[in-house]
Structure 1
Amino acid sequence: MSVANSGTIDLGGKTVHRLGYGAMRITGPGIWGPPKDHDEAVRVLRRSVELGVTFIDTADSYGPFVSEDLIKEALHDGTGYGDVVVATKGGLTRHGPDVWPPLGRPEYLRQCILMSLRRLGVERIDLWQLHRIDAKVPREEQFGEIKSFLDEGLAKQVGLSEVDVDDVKAAQAAGLPVASVQNRYNLGDRRAEELLDFCTEQGIAFIPWAPVDAGTLARPGGPLDAVAGNHPGTTTGQLALAWLLRRSPVIVPIPGTSSVGHLEENCAAADVELTDEEFQALTDAA
């Protein structure tokens, strides 16, 4: 089993397999505190790399800090992460489970990246992303500070999360080379369709979060269930990931999980091949 068949994309200064891993769920309930099973979280991270995952997405707010700490414990080889690109995010504060207020003041964003460098044990972040644009701070101030991370060598590449086309164009106009965007997007939620098309045209990596959430399309007797009948042993979640991988060459799905078994199930999606008719049926079903 390997994610090699998911294809590749250049990201974080390296060529990575497009089917990655999202490290949000290796924390406690509400993405707060340590995981229920620390050793299983470490096994999940190490098994992901064994399966060929070379792109891992996290954030300083996951825990907070717990996910980054676990990634270093599980995967840092003493000098870095080898062929694995570790992307992280900053710009949110945490005050309790499921509480995520944004804070985009330049001095706070700088604190975020400096602390992520320390926790991950690297001299430069492969890909640092603004978790949310803070509406209380002019976005150009946030973009300017993030550009300084590139200029100072704190990050190799930078990206934005939960934005629209206008935000990306504004960042580019401010001189910020946007390498990635990270928005909610899946079979059942296509609100970021315009942004995805823009990223495809621009060659910007599009990292969909909640990639397996197909909503009502996954119901028994629904469109995904119907296609699953043509692929014995394949889950609707694997089909949803296979659809994303085919939807655009810039899509980098990051399904997350806290169990090795579920991780292996997700990674097996790289070997699922949809026919033209199946792909179109799922596309039209939304």
Structure 2
Amino acid sequence: MNNIGQRKLGSKGLAVSTIGLGCMGMTVFAGGSDLYGPADEKEAISTIHRALELGCNFLDTADIYGPYLNEQLIARAISGNRNKYVIATKFGYEIDDNDQPTWRINGKKAYVKKAVEKSLRSLGTDYIDLYYLHRLDGQTPVEETAAAMADLVKEGKVGYIGLSEVSSDTIRRANRIHPITAVQSEYSIFERSIEEAGITDTLQELGISLVAYSPLGRGYLTGNLKKPEDLPENDFRKTMPRFQGEQLVKNLALVDAITVMAAEKEITPSQLAIAWVLAKGHTPIPGTKRPKYLEQNVAAAAIQLSAGDIDRLESIIPLGTFLGDRYDAASMSSINQ
């Protein structure tokens, strides 16, 4: 049953479900930390199976999630149904021969070829539908990385290639080497810096799709975060300026206004946030590890926002509103914008 429809990513023929599923929270992150609380493998696999039933076939992961544990979980979940799913994974955060993260970014040709083989093994497949460079390697020309990724397409190991968190200049340079199908960036009503930087305009000009991760503002737009005390003591978001001190209080006041608007429309704040990303023409990949939240998120595909709705929502958080940095200083430095 496919009730949420499909859309094209890029201009070279890749079709995915209108809404994707971010799988990062289904396993521990690199170093063994639980980014979004403890994961339950059985429930995570049920979520992936339920996604397919709802027509949501676009799964997003990365080699660094675990490392490899997230890809391995997906392999178990899709066993016997590989051809029904569209799998996107990412490489770039260097993982050594002992499967330990070095936290360097490596986009060199030799590493690209090494990384894809490990992901293919972890995913239990002989091809990856969409392969992203997770972050730009500042020491390696993007042309070298893109050429190595293009080789993977020629070899049949990868269907389409993408980039993540990169500038307009980087996108143009890579696209001259091989057509870029998608760029993944954090994007929501709460995070529009790529619009301010002109990146969305560049994507539209070049026929490249935006895949929006964290379309729920890392939890701000779920309606579950109402006061500072709602953040658990060991929550990784506490390292982010956006979730600290007075900035958190200010941001929660904006969320209150969004929650009021959602209630008037008899939908959840999450559904309003996802519907907004869809109305902007982009592909959201909200992350969840629970079937009930997946069902809520997928239902947003049926919500139509009017021009007035969009204007009202964007007037709550006008473009350029300062909401605090979305990562700590070290992680912000890896974003090429």
Q: 1:240 matched to which residue of 2?
A: 273
Distance 1:110 1:259, change over 3 A: same
Identity of aligned residues (%): 33
The 8 Å contact of residues 44 and 263 in structure 1, kept in 2 or not, is answered as: yes
The structural deviation recorded for 1:94 is: 5.5
CA distance in 2, matches of 1:15, 1:172: 19
Alignment partner, residue 24 of structure 1: 24
Task: Note if contact 1:13-1:126 (Cα within 8 Å) is conserved in structure 2.
Answer: no
Q: Identify unmatched segments of 5+ residues in structure 2.
A: 222-249, 319-337
State the match for 1:37 in structure 2.
40
> Which ranges of structure 1 fall in alignment gaps of 5 or more residues?
none
What does residue 83 of structure 2 align with? 82
Point out the more displaced range, 184-193 or 268-277.
Answer: 268-277
The 5 Å alignment of 1:148-227 reads 148-173=151-176, 175-193=177-195, 194-213=198-217, 219=253, 222-227=256-261
Measure how far apart 1:118 and its partner are.
1.8
Equivalent AA in structure 2 for residue 108 of structure 1: Y
Q: Distance in 2 between matches of 1:97 and 1:220?
A: 40
Give 1:146's aligned residue: 149
After superposition, the C-alpha distances for 1:233-280 in whole angstroms (9 at most, x for unaligned) are x111110100000012xx110000122222222112112222221111
Q: In 2 relative to 1, CA 53–99 (structure 1 residues): closer, same or farther, beyond 3 Å?
A: farther
Structure 1 residues 124 and 53 mapped into 2: Cα distance closer, same or farther (>3 Å)? same
Aligned match for 1:63, one of 58, 63, 66: 66
What CA RMSD, in Å, does the superposition of the two structures yield over aligned residues?
2.7
Q: Where is the helix percentage greater, Structure 1 or Structure 2? A: 2
Q: Work out the CA distance in 1 between the residues paired with 2:184 and 2:2.
A: 24
CA contact (8 A) 2:93 2:102 kept: no
| Distance in 1, Cα, partners of 2:100 & 2:256 | 34
Measured in 2, the distance between the counterparts of 1:177 and 1:14 equals 12
Is the contact made by 2:4 and 2:298 (CA closer than 8 Å) also made in structure 1?
A: no
TM-score, normalised to structure 2, is 0.75
Q: Is the contact made by 2:63 and 2:89 (CA closer than 8 Å) also made in structure 1?
A: yes
CA distance in 2, matches of 1:266, 1:100: 32
The answer to whether the 8 A contact 1:57-1:86 is kept is yes
Distance in 2 of aligned mates of 1:54 and 1:8? 12
Cα displacement (A) at 1:219: 3.8
Q: Deviations over 1:147-201 (max 9, x none)?
A: 211222221110101101100111122x221011001111011111121222123
**Letter aligned with residue 226 of structure 1:** V
Report the Cα distance in structure 1 between the residues aligned to 2:143 and 2:205, rounded to whole angstroms.
24
Amino acid at match of 2:7: T
Q: Secondary structure at the residue paired with 1:229?
A: helix
Equivalent position to 2:263, from 229, 232, 253? 229
Instruction: Check the 8 A contact 2:275/2:304 in 1, yes or no.
Output: yes
The letter for the 2-side match of 1:282 is: L
Whether the aligned pair in 1 keeps the contact of 2:93 and 2:101 (CA below 8 Å) is: no
Between 46-55 and 197-206, the greater mean CA deviation after superposition: 197-206
- Cα distance in 2, alignment partners of residues 160 and 237 from structure 1: 26
